[in-house]
Amino acid sequence: MRKFTAVALAAVFALGSFAAARAATPILETGSSLLYPLMNLWVASYQAKNHTVQITTQSTGSGTGISQAIAGVAQIGASDAYMGDPQMRGHRMLNIPLAISAQQINYNIPGLNNVHLHLSGPVLAGIYMGRIKYWNDPQIKALNRPYAGRLPHRTIIPIHRTDGSGDTFIFSQYLSFTTPMWSHGPGYGTSISWPSVSTAVGANGNPGMVQACKATPYSIAYIGVSFINETNKAGLGYGLLKNRAGRFVAPTASTIGSAAAAMYPKTPRDERISLVFAPGANSYPIINYEYAIVNPHQKNAETREALVKFLSWVLDHNGGQEMHFLNAVHFLPLPASIAKLSREQVAQIH
Amino acid sequence: MLAGVLTSVAAGICLLLVVLMLVFLLWYTWPAIRYNGLSILNDITWNIGNQYGTGSSVHNGVAAEPGAEFGGLVFLVGTLLSALLAMVFAVPLALGVALTIVYRLPERLRLPVNALIELMAGIPSVVYGLWGTIVLVPWVGNRVAPFVTHHFGFIPFLGGDAGSGNGLFAAAIVLAIMVMPIMVATVRDVLLAQPKSIFEASMALGSTSWQAVTHAVLPSVRTGIVGAILVAFGRALGETMAVLMVAGNAINILPHNIFSPINTIAAVVVSQLESAVSDASGVAQRSLAELALVLFVISLTVNTVARVAIRGQDRSH
């Protein structure tokens, strides 16, 4: 129903704007709620100078982004996750990184939200598997000696995404890469089979995660960094995560940057790679490329031209990669080498 | 003559639509029916499989992603329990309201009260859901659930984790409020169809109004009331949006008390569709449709029984 309403509204708006600028070529972007805030900044700025294209943005979730790009409904499917091999075999789509994002682990522990708890992959896996049930569990205490006495004996309420989500993808990768029991169990994906935890709650989209975490004392959630302003406003705490080198790091430009730098040389030509749990003493463990999923065959020349022009602008260091766009949502720009790979992929659109 | 033809044509079209819907669902879900077998009804695990793995899971010649399992038991149980608990809350209230309207309310108040009930029925379910998320769920999570689990935990299904407020209890309350208007309206009509003399005769014989209602009126309209309850039950089974917003979206786990997060068939179809579309094999989407088919059959059965009951009541006069 919600999706139908969104589509109907989009159609109404599209019609309205169509009447306003008759010659404009319509481009539909839909998908990741994590990329959505940045996409809106990009589109507003781009549209101010380019009146021949009408770009509509939607926050629907990475799963919808990918499937609507495949179906040809959307020209750009925004996704925090690259497509898996089984999907690629059915539909050869381009997976084009546009920026680098990260994810924070937020919690709502009354009295402790101003404290940055130390959290590790195995502890998070324990929480989401129901093996660690209380905030004062010895395993959490062991990582947080200074606050051990203040951790309450309250049931942890793990919140996960119910929609197909790139955030679930990178979060479950962190758990898979750090915890054998997780990788042999639920594994990773944009939608995974969550372990049975009697208090676990599902939420829809990053906005839904923020709302649920805020409304539920003693809960924990994984939320994209582009929602830092919202999580701060909601008064949620965020954790320092244990990286491959064993250090606990906060998601900052410096830690996200060093994790990304460790993974650039490993990025293949089709750019489908996980950046999670990167090596390096200062590396933040949950980061990812934000992808535009694009069909290399576009039906008509007008759409193709408008699409290539917009994506090229997004990938230009004097365009969408300018720091003021990315700072606003706490993302990082692509380095020159990756932007070049992305531009090569854009060149394949025909 | 013409009216007769037109109504039979209209009825025929309705029947045809139902049959077509069934045929479509069966045709579309056939691969899922083969893949899942009985596990759609009796398995707890819902897993669309590994989208980043290699190989595939094959059951009965249908291939899905590796590890894919589509058990619908959690959703089936959640659907039935939330609707049943909603009836527990709604039935006494609705009966009371309907009896009051028919036997107690002064004539001049009937119209506004009836209008109010119709109005309640017309409120979009998302509004109830929003109220549920913002007001009801925090209240249940912070007050009701801790109180009940602490003081009445010895009673089965009331002990254990108090949870977050999202769950079976909140879903049942929202559902109860949503089905109240339809139940009140149906019971009211059943009572109005009843000659008022039953109530009056009983009063004349010296009963209190409570005795007149419980001994004379209610027994005479028993089937009609059962029908009204079933109509409301059918509505509660299929309600989607409000439940989706307060039920907690449980997956892979059965509720262990009335505050546990649950999920219903209607809600899971909405919340998992997004994930299911990323299943390259398509079995996940078809399995969701199979769940919808299960719900369709349940609703159809409940509604048919309800109609028969209400009609039986009407015929008895």
DSSP string, chain B: -HHHHHHHHHHHHHHHHHHHHHHHHHHHHHHHHHHHTTHHHH---EE---TTSSS-EEETTEEESTT-EE--HHHHHHHHHHHHHHHHHHHHHHHHHHHIIIIIS-HHHHHHHHHHHHHHHHS-HHHHHHHIIIIIHHHIIIIIHHHHHHHSTTSTTT-S---SS-SHHHHHHHHHHHHHHHHHHHHHHHHHHS-THHHHHHHHTT--HHHIIIIIIHHHTHHHHHHHHHHHHHHHHH--HHHHHHS----S---SSTTS----HHHHHHHHHHHHTT-TTSHHHHHHHHHHHHHHHHHHHHHHHHHHHHHHHHHT-
Judged against a pLDDT cut of 80, whether residue B262 lies above it is answered with yes
Residue B207: predicted pLDDT = 86
* Range in A5-14, A195-204, A205-214, B64-73 the model is least confident about: A5-14
B281 close to A (CB below 8 A): yes
Chain pair A-B, CB pairs under 8 angstroms: 131
Residue A21: predicted pLDDT = 47
What's chain B's average pLDDT? 90
Better-scored residue on pLDDT, A274 or A18: A274
- Which pTM value belongs to this model? 0.85
Instruction: Print burial letters for A201-240: b (CB count within 10 Å at least 16), e (below 16).
Output: bbbbbbebbbbbbbbbbbbbbbbbbbbbebbeebebbbbb
How long is chain B?
317
Q: Could you tell me the pLDDT band of residue B199, with boundaries at 50, 70 and 90? A: confident
Interchain CB distance below 8 Å, A193 and B162? no
Judged against a pLDDT cut of 70, whether residue A125 lies above it is answered with yes
* Range in A38-47, A76-85, A338-347, B268-277 the model is least confident about: B268-277
Among B70, B89, B118, the domain-final residue is B70
Closest by Cβ to A216, choosing from B54, B164, B272: B164
Residue A149: predicted pLDDT = 93
Task: Give the rounded percent of residues in chain A with a pLDDT score beyond 90.
Answer: 79
In a shared domain, residues B88 and B184 = yes
- Number of structural domains, chain B? 2
Residue A12: predicted pLDDT = 56
A97: closest CA among A328, A344, A349?
A: A344
Question: Within the 7-46 window of chain B, which residues sit less than 8 Å (CB to CB) from chain A?
Answer: 44-46
A282 close to B (CB below 8 A): no
In a shared domain, residues B94 and B159 = yes
What is the rounded CA–CA span in Å between residue A240 and residue B275? Answer: 29
Question: Within the 146-175 window of chain B, which residues sit less than 8 Å (CB to CB) from chain A?
Answer: 160-166
What's chain A's average pLDDT? 91
In a shared domain, residues B157 and B273 = yes
Residue B188: predicted pLDDT = 92
Better-scored residue on pLDDT, B1 or A319: A319
In a shared domain, residues B252 and B117 = yes
Task: Give the rounded percent of residues in chain A with a pLDDT score beyond 70.
Answer: 93
Residues spanned by the domain of B36: 2-70
Task: Give the rounded percent of residues in chain B with a pLDDT score beyond 70.
Answer: 99
In a shared domain, residues B62 and B87 = no
- Residue B49 near residue B68 (C-beta atoms within 8 A): yes
Interchain CB distance below 8 Å, A196 and B274? no
In a shared domain, residues B12 and B116 = no
Helix, strand, or coil (residue A154): coil
Judged against a pLDDT cut of 60, whether residue A17 lies above it is answered with no
For the segment A153-171, the average pLDDT, to the nearest whole number, is 92
Q: Is ipTM strictly over 0.85?
A: no
Residue of B nearest to A195 (CA): B252
In a shared domain, residues B86 and B64 = no
For the segment A144-157, the average pLDDT, to the nearest whole number, is 94
Among B36, B70, B104, the domain-final residue is B70
Interchain CB distance below 8 Å, B137 and A215? yes
Residue A1: predicted pLDDT = 47
In a shared domain, residues B50 and B100 = no
In a shared domain, residues B28 and B102 = no
Q: Could you tell me the pLDDT band of residue A86, with boundaries at 50, 70 and 90? A: confident
Closest approach of B271 to chain A, Cα-based (Å): 6
Among B54, B70, B86, the domain-final residue is B70
Judged against a pLDDT cut of 80, whether residue A323 lies above it is answered with yes
- Please, which residues bridge with residue A102 across strands? A287
Return the structure tokens found at A155: 């049931």
For the segment A320-327, the average pLDDT, to the nearest whole number, is 94
Better-scored residue on pLDDT, A252 or B4: A252
In a shared domain, residues B20 and B160 = no
Residue B252 belongs to domain with CATH number:
1.10.3720.10
In a shared domain, residues B63 and B83 = no
Instruction: Tell me the per-residue pLDDT of B135-145, one tens digit each, with 9 for 90 and over.
Output: 999 999 989 99
Closest approach of B279 to chain A, Cα-based (Å): 8
In a shared domain, residues B148 and B245 = yes
